[in-house]
Structure 1
Amino acid sequence: MKYEKEAQEILEYVGGSENIKTVTHCATRLRFTLKNDELVKEEALKNLADVIGTVNQGGQFQIIIGNDVKYVYKALQQFVNISEENDTGVNENKTVLNKVLDTVAGIFVPIVPALAGSGMLKAVLAIVALLGWINTDGQTYQILNFVSDAIFYFLPMLLAHSASVKFGTNPYLSITIGGILLHPTFTAMITNARETGGTIQLFGLPVTPVNYGSSVIPIILTIWFMSFIEPFVDKIVPKVTRIFSTPLITLFIVAPVALIVIGPLGTFLGDGLAGGIRWLDNYASWLIPMVVGTFTPLLVMTGMHYALISIGINSLAKFGFDTVAGPGMLVSNIAQGGAVLAVALRSKNMKLRSLGISTGISAVLGITEPALYGINLTYRKPLYSAMIGGGLGGLFLGIMGVGRYQQVPPGILALPSFIGEDGLSNLTYTIIGIVIAFVGAFVSQLFLGIDDKEDTIIENEEATIDPQTAPEVGARESISVTSPMAGQVLSLSQVNDDVFSQKLLGEGLAIVPKDGLIYAPFDGVISVFLESKHAIGIVGSNGVELLIHCGLDTVNLIGEGFVSHVNKGDTVKKGDLLLEMDIAYIRSKHLETTTPILVTNTKDYLEVLPTTEEEVQVGEVVLSIE
Structure 2
Amino acid sequence: MDYKRLGKNIISLVGGKDNINLVWNCMTRLRFNLVDNTLPQIDELKKLDGIMDIQVTPSQFQIIIGNNVDSVADEINRLIGQVKKQATPEKSTPKKGIKNKINGVFEVISAIFSPILPAIIGAGMMKVVLALIPLTKLISETSGIFQVFTMISDAAFYFLPFLLAVSSARKFNVNEFIALCLAGVLLYPTLINGAAKGLEPMKFLVFDVPYLSYSSSVIPIILGVWLMSYINKAVNKVMPSMLKAILSSVLVLAITVPIVLIVIAPLGFYIGEYLSKGLIWLFSTVGPLAGLLLAGFNPFIVMTGMHYAFMPAAIQSIATNGFDNFWLPFALISNMAQAGAILAVFVKSKSSEQRSITFSTGLSAIFGITEPGMYGVTLKLKKPLYAAMAGSAIAGCVAVLLHVKTYSFVAPSVFALPTYVAPNGNMSALSAILIGIILSFILSFTFTMFSKFELNLTNNQTTNKEQKNSKKSKIDLNEGEKVFSPLAGKVIPMNQVPDKTFSAEVIGRGIAIEPNEGILKAPVDGEIAVLFRTKHAIGITSNNGVELLIHIGIDTVQLEGEHFEALVKVGDKIEKGQPLVKFDVAAIKAKGLSTVTPIIVTNYKEFPEFEVIKVSETIQIGDPIIIIKGVE
Give the TM-score taking structure 1 as reference length: 0.70
The 1:58/1:143 distance shift into structure 2, 3 A limit, reads farther
Equivalent position of 2:368 in the other structure: 366
Match of 2:354 among 332, 352, 372: 352
2:449 counterpart of 1:446: yes
- Once the 2 structures are TM-superposed, how far is the Cα of residue 428 of structure 1 from its aligned partner? 2.0
Q: Which amino acid aligns with 1:150?
A: A
Match of 1:134 among 129, 133, 139: 139
**Separation in 2 of the partners of 1:244 and 1:48?**
50
**Is the contact made by 1:58 and 1:302 (CA closer than 8 Å) also made in structure 2?**
no
How many residues end up aligned between the 2 structures?
Answer: 458
Tell me, which stretches of 5 or more residues in structure 1 are unaligned?
465-626
Tell me, which stretches of 5 or more residues in structure 2 are unaligned?
467-632
Runs of 4 or more off by more than 6 Å in structure 1?
455-461
The 1:459/1:216 distance shift into structure 2, 3 A limit, reads closer
Match of 2:126 among 116, 121, 128: 121
Higher deviation after alignment, 389-398 or 75-84: 75-84
**Is the contact made by 2:15 and 2:39 (CA closer than 8 Å) also made in structure 1?**
yes
2:169 counterpart of 1:169: no
- Once the 2 structures are TM-superposed, how far is the Cα of residue 156 of structure 1 from its aligned partner? 0.8
- Once the 2 structures are TM-superposed, how far is the Cα of residue 423 of structure 1 from its aligned partner? 2.5
**Separation in 2 of the partners of 1:419 and 1:58?**
41
Q: Which amino acid aligns with 2:219?
A: I
Higher deviation after alignment, 83-92 or 396-405: 83-92
Q: Report the secondary structure of 1:322's partner residue.
A: coil
Q: Report the secondary structure of 2:79's partner residue.
A: coil
Equivalent position of 1:93 in the other structure: 94
**Separation in 2 of the partners of 1:256 and 1:386?**
50
- Once the 2 structures are TM-superposed, how far is the Cα of residue 379 of structure 1 from its aligned partner? 1.4
- Once the 2 structures are TM-superposed, how far is the Cα of residue 338 of structure 1 from its aligned partner? 0.9
Q: Which amino acid aligns with 1:225?
A: L
Q: Report the secondary structure of 1:30's partner residue.
A: strand
**Is the contact made by 1:349 and 1:459 (CA closer than 8 Å) also made in structure 2?**
no
- Once the 2 structures are TM-superposed, how far is the Cα of residue 60 of structure 1 from its aligned partner? 1.4
**Separation in 1 of the partners of 2:55 and 2:224?**
31
2:436 counterpart of 1:433: yes
**Separation in 1 of the partners of 2:103 and 2:111?**
12
Match of 1:158 among 163, 166, 170: 163
Equivalent position of 1:284 in the other structure: 286
**Separation in 1 of the partners of 2:411 and 2:86?**
37
- Once the 2 structures are TM-superposed, how far is the Cα of residue 239 of structure 1 from its aligned partner? 1.0
Equivalent position of 2:259 in the other structure: 257
- Once the 2 structures are TM-superposed, how far is the Cα of residue 406 of structure 1 from its aligned partner? 1.1
- Once the 2 structures are TM-superposed, how far is the Cα of residue 40 of structure 1 from its aligned partner? 0.8
**Is the contact made by 1:289 and 1:323 (CA closer than 8 Å) also made in structure 2?**
no
Q: Which amino acid aligns with 1:110?
A: P
Equivalent position of 1:108 in the other structure: 113
- Once the 2 structures are TM-superposed, how far is the Cα of residue 161 of structure 1 from its aligned partner? 0.8
Equivalent position of 2:215 in the other structure: 213
Equivalent position of 2:64 in the other structure: 64
**Separation in 2 of the partners of 1:97 and 1:151?**
28
Provide Cα deviations, 1:369-420, integer angstroms capped at 9, x if missing partner. Answer: 1011111211111110111121122112111111111111101111112111
**Separation in 2 of the partners of 1:84 and 1:202?**
34
Q: Report the secondary structure of 2:195's partner residue.
A: helix
Equivalent position of 2:600 in the other structure: none
Match of 1:179 among 165, 179, 184: 184
Provide Cα deviations, 1:193-246, integer angstroms capped at 9, x if missing partner. Answer: x1xx53322223111221101011111111111111011011111211111311
**Is the contact made by 1:226 and 1:250 (CA closer than 8 Å) also made in structure 2?**
yes
Q: Report the secondary structure of 1:127's partner residue.
A: helix
**Is the contact made by 1:58 and 1:303 (CA closer than 8 Å) also made in structure 2?**
no
Match of 2:298 among 272, 296, 299: 296
Provide Cα deviations, 1:318-364, integer angstroms capped at 9, x if missing partner. Answer: 11200112100001011111111111111223322221111110011
Provide Cα deviations, 1:428-479, integer angstroms capped at 9, x if missing partner. Answer: 2211111001111111111113236x57987998xx9xxxxxxxxxxxxxxx
Q: Report the secondary structure of 1:448's partner residue.
A: coil
Equivalent position of 1:225 in the other structure: 227
Q: Which amino acid aligns with 1:87?
A: T
- Once the 2 structures are TM-superposed, how far is the Cα of residue 132 of structure 1 from its aligned partner? 3.4
Equivalent position of 2:393 in the other structure: 391
- Once the 2 structures are TM-superposed, how far is the Cα of residue 85 of structure 1 from its aligned partner? 8.2
Provide Cα deviations, 1:151-208, integer angstroms capped at 9, x if missing partner. Answer: 111001111111111111111100110110001122223334x1xx533222231112
Q: Report the secondary structure of 2:91's partner residue.
A: coil
Q: Which amino acid aligns with 1:322?
A: D
**Is the contact made by 2:34 and 2:92 (CA closer than 8 Å) also made in structure 1?**
no
**Separation in 2 of the partners of 1:12 and 1:147?**
41
**Is the contact made by 1:189 and 1:200 (CA closer than 8 Å) also made in structure 2?**
no
Task: Please show how residues 508-523 of structure 1 align to structure 2 within 5 Å.
Answer: none
The 1:287/1:146 distance shift into structure 2, 3 A limit, reads farther
Equivalent position of 1:406 in the other structure: 408
**Separation in 1 of the partners of 2:215 and 2:77?**
35
2:145 counterpart of 1:143: no
**Separation in 2 of the partners of 1:236 and 1:460?**
60
The 1:128/1:267 distance shift into structure 2, 3 A limit, reads same
The 1:216/1:65 distance shift into structure 2, 3 A limit, reads same
2:206 counterpart of 1:204: yes
**Separation in 2 of the partners of 1:427 and 1:171?**
40
The 1:238/1:399 distance shift into structure 2, 3 A limit, reads same
The 1:363/1:85 distance shift into structure 2, 3 A limit, reads closer
Q: Which amino acid aligns with 1:273?
A: L
Q: Which amino acid aligns with 1:68?
A: N
Give the TM-score taking structure 2 as reference length: 0.69
**Is the contact made by 1:222 and 1:262 (CA closer than 8 Å) also made in structure 2?**
yes
The 1:85/1:343 distance shift into structure 2, 3 A limit, reads closer
**Is the contact made by 1:316 and 1:405 (CA closer than 8 Å) also made in structure 2?**
yes
